[in-house]
Each structure stands twice: as C-alpha cells, then as structure tokens.
C-alpha cells in the first residue's frame, strides 16, 4: 500500500515524524527489545520495513511476503548485499527472501519465525482471506510474537478528506472495539496474549478517539512445542520465491578463510616491513632515522601493543624472512577472527607460504627493491 497517499490527507492532523515512519519505528523498537533472529513481514509491499530491519544486527533471517510481486520487485534490489558487505563480511549471517503469495495460504517457508509483522495489512484482506488469516499466522506459522497494525476508524473524523476509508483498496476499517474484540478472540483461540497500543496520538481533548493507527502485539503464551508440530503439517510449497540474498558472513568458512588469509599476510607484511626498516636504521642516512623512529611507536599503538616473547621474534635467514605464526596470532584482529591458534593453522594451510615446520610465514626478499 502506498503510504504517501495516506499521509496526504492528514492535513489537519499532521504527524511528525510521519505516521508510517512511526509504525516502522515501533517495529524497530520491538526488535531491539526482543532481539528476534527470524523476522517475517507479511504484506511487505515495497520492502521499506525489511530494508530498515536488515540493519538490525540481531536478525539473521528476514522474509517478506506480498500478494503483488511487482510492487516487491520494484525495490527488492535494495535488499541485496552492498559491495562493502563483500569487502568486509560481517560476523552475523543474514538471508533475505521475498515470497509471492497470500496470507490465506500456508507455506512451510514461513515456519520457525520469532517475529511476524503485519503492518497495515488486514484491512486489505477480503472477508474470506481474513477468515483464514488467524489460522495461517497464529495457528500455522505460530511465531513467538505477532504485530498487527490497522487504521482506527474512530480517528477518521479528524481526517476530513477521508470519505469512507483511508484507501480505496481497504475492505474495512475497524473501530477500537472491533479490532480489540477480533484480536482478543484470535489470541484466545491460539493461546496468545495481546496488548493494545498504537501510533499517531489524537489531538489534545480528543483523546478518546484513540491512536490513528491501532496496534496489537501478540505474544505466544506457551513456548514452542518443538519441531514435531511442524513436521505434522502439510509441507507443500505454495509461495513463489521472487528474491533471495545471502549476505557474506564470517560464519561462512569461505569468507572467514579469505578474511584470515588477508589479515595474516597483511600482518606479516607489516612485521616484515618493520623488521627491514629496523635493519636499515644502521644505514648512514640521518633523515631516515629521525623520520622513521617515532612513527614505529604510533604504529604499534594502532595495532595494539604486542607482547613479544623471545621465541616469537621474526628473523631473517639468507634471502628469507620468517615471521612466526604465534606472533601473527598475537595481533588482535587475527586473534579475533580465528579464536584459536589451531583454527588459524587450519585456515591458512596451503594458502600461505610457511616454513618447513609450519610455524612461520616466509617471505622471499631477494627480488625486492
């Protein structure tokens, strides 16, 4: 649904920030509070909410569902990883998927979510769809939390340009009582608790009309009964996947290995560079000495002071520089990436030139200028 239009006729009652933003912020706050890992947005439209949610670091799976594939496709590329996501893969993993389908149908891809959001969705549903909706969302998907927002018809009197409904596609708009009775009945039926709130405060003196957008937050009373519930259900896929993006993550061995190799070689280069400049200090160039000496200190500040034990010292032998892996491992960045020394050795095996006993990175300095 197009938010721009809805906001257009809130001339008299003006919301700041705009109402749709307040709804999104509400969801974002909820995510911050409950830290769900898997979030689905039903009726995701142009993916604006999903796009906002992809920056929430707790989320590892994001899914969107909409009845209109075109509106999703319009902006779905904003959900793709950015070049920088490839350059600096993040710790968390993230998969974003968009499905084309109806909330009146069950599809196994919607199972296992922690949070399901239905922002300004239900008022677009035909009666038959609305009937099936609770069973699909609460009965089948059965996430820990469901958020449902919908217009509050009592507020419409403050929106003079609204004739019948706020949007021609709306099939109904409910009063607070109507929404609450539907929600309470649904919650009772599927064993959820529900709390009511909203966004878009009424003007002073008009408080009893309630929020412009009414929101119900449903929380499942009993923890999930386990995987068994899911396997009983029909497993036929009815949604069509229109988009899928897997974000590069360090949880993926391929990216981790790459990151470790990069960091190891880069760190080793730094140590080598430092070792070589130290050797050059014996040179007779006064300019060099004075320029380089203090800079080495800033440099180690940046990388974290090193605890260099005697057996960890890099050394030169013939045309080769040896930089012990233990030294490299003591650098915070490498350390953080690998966790254990064994993991470091495993990840770089065969990818970085090592000494014959595998304890040090070796560089040949013969051909260097």
Partner 1 sequence: PQHPQQLQQLQQLHVPPALAEEPGGYGRLRSCETPMQERRPEGLQVSSGLQDLSLRDRGGRRRDFHDLGVNTRQAMVHVQESKTGISGKIIKLTTNHFRLTSRPQWALYQYHVGYSPEMEARRLRSALLFQHEETIGKTHAFDGSILFLPKKLENKVTELFSRTRNGEDVKITVTLTNELPPTSPTCLQFYNIIFRRLLKMLNLQQIGRNYYNPSDPVSIPNHRLMVWLGFTSSILQYEENIMLCADVSHKVLRGETVLDTMHSLHSQVGEERFRDTCAKELIGLIVLTKYNNRTYRIDDIDWDNNPKSTFRKSDGTEMSFVEYYKKQYNIEISDWMQPVLISQMKRKRGNIQGSVALIPELCSLTGLTDKMRNDFNMMKDLAIHTRLPPEQRQRELGRLLNYIQKDDNVQKELRNWGLSFDYKSVSFTGRVVQGEKIFQSGTMFDYNPQFADWTKETRGVPLIRSVPMDSWLLIYTRRNYDVANTLLQSLFKVTPSMGIRMNRPNMIEVDDRTEAYLRVLQQRVTPDINIVFCILSSSRKDKYDAIKKYLCTDCPIPSQCVLARTLSKPQTIMTVATKIALQMNCKMGGELWSVEIPLKQVMIVGIDCYHDTISGKQSIAGFVASLNQTVTRWFSRCVVQSRGQELVDGIKACLQTALRNWSKWNKCLPSRIFVYRDGVGDGQLNTLVNYEVPQFLDCLKSIGTDYSPRLTVIVVKKRVGARFFAEIGGGLKNPPPGTVVDTVVTRPEWYDFFIVSQTVKNGCVAPTHYNVVYDTSQLKPDHVQRLTYKLCHMYYNWSGIIRVPAPCQYAHKLAFLVGQSIHREPNLMLSDRLYYL
Taking the least distance from each CB to partner 1, the nearer of 3 and 106 is 3
**Order of strands across the sheet that contains 320-324:** 315-317, 320-324, 360-364
The whole-angstrom distance between residue 270's C-alpha and the CA centroid of its chain comes to 34
How far apart CA 103 and CA 129 sit, in angstroms, is 7
Judged by CB, which is closer to partner 1: 114, or 263?
263
Considering beta carbons, is residue 177 or 296 the nearer one to partner 1?
A: 296
Q: Sort 295 into a burial class: Cβ within 10 Å, 0-12 / 13-18 / 19+.
A: exposed
With respect to partner 1, which residue has the nearer C-beta, 186 or 327?
A: 327
Instruction: Pick between residue 22 and residue 186 the one whose CB is nearest to partner 1.
Output: 22
Report the nearest approach of partner 1 to the CB of residue 65 (Å). Answer: 17
Both tokens of 152, joined, read: 């509050």
To partner 1, the closest distance from the beta carbon of 76 in angstroms equals 8
The least distance separating partner 1 from the CB of residue 137, rounded to whole angstroms, comes to 24
Which residues here bind partner 1, judged by CB under 8 A? 2-9, 16-18, 21, 46-48, 51-52, 55-57, 70, 73-78, 80-84, 86-88, 161-164, 166-169, 258, 261-262, 264-266, 269, 284-285, 287, 291, 294-296, 298-299, 302, 368-369
Residue closer to partner 1 by CB (options 21, 171) is 21
- Please state the closest distance from residue 84 (CB atom) to partner 1, in A: 5
Give the residue with the Cβ less far from partner 1, 120 or 218.
Answer: 120
Report the nearest approach of partner 1 to the CB of residue 55 (Å): 4
Q: How far is the CB of 255 from partner 1 (least distance, A)?
A: 10
Smallest distance, partner 1 to C-beta of residue 18, A: 5
């Amino acid at each position: 649904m197009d938010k721009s239009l809805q906001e257009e006729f809130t001339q008299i009652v003006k919301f700041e920030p705009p109402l749709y933003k307040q709804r999104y912020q509400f969801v974002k706050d909820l995510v911050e509070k409950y830290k769900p890992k898997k979030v689905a947005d039903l009726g995701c439209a142009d993916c604006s909410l999903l796009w906002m949610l992809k920056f929430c670091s707790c989320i590892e799976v994001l899914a969107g569902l909409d009845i209109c594939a075109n509106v999703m496709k319009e902006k779905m590329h904003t959900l793709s990883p950015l070049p920088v996501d490839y350059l600096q893969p993040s710790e968390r993993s993230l998969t974003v998927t968009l499905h084309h389908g109806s909330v009146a149908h069950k599809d196994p891809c919607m199972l296992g979510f922690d949070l399901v959001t239905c922002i300004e969705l239900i008022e677009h549903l035909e009666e038959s769809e609305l009937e099936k909706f609770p069973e699909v969302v609460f009965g089948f998907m059965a996430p820990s939390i469901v958020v449902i927002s919908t217009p509050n018809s009592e507020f419409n009197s403050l929106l003079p340009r609204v004739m019948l409904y706020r949007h021609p596609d709306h099939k109904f708009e409910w009063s607070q009582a109507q929404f609450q009775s539907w929600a309470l009945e649904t919650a009772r039926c599927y064993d959820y608790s529900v709390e009511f709130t909203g966004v878009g405060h009424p003007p002073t003196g008009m408080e009893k009309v309630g929020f412009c957008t009414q929101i119900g937050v449903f929380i499942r009373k009993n923890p999930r009964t386990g995987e068994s519930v899911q396997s009983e259900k029909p497993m036929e896929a009815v949604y069509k996947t229109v988009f899928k993006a897997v974000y590069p993550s360090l949880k993926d061995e391929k990216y981790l290995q790459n990151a470790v190799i990069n960091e190891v070689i880069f760190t080793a280069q730094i140590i080598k560079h430092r070792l070589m400049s130290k050797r050059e200090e014996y040179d007779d160039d006064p300019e060099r000495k004075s320029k380089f000496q203090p800079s080495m200190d800033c440099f180690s500040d940046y990388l974290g002071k090193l605890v260099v034990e005697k057996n960890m010292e890099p050394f030169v032998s013939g045309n080769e520089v040896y930089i012990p892996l233990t030294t490299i491992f003591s650098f915070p960045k490498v350390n953080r990436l690998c966790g254990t020394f064994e993991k470091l050795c495993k990840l770089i095996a065969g990818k970085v030139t090592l000494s014959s006993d595998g304890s040090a990175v070796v560089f040949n300095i013969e051909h260097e200028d």
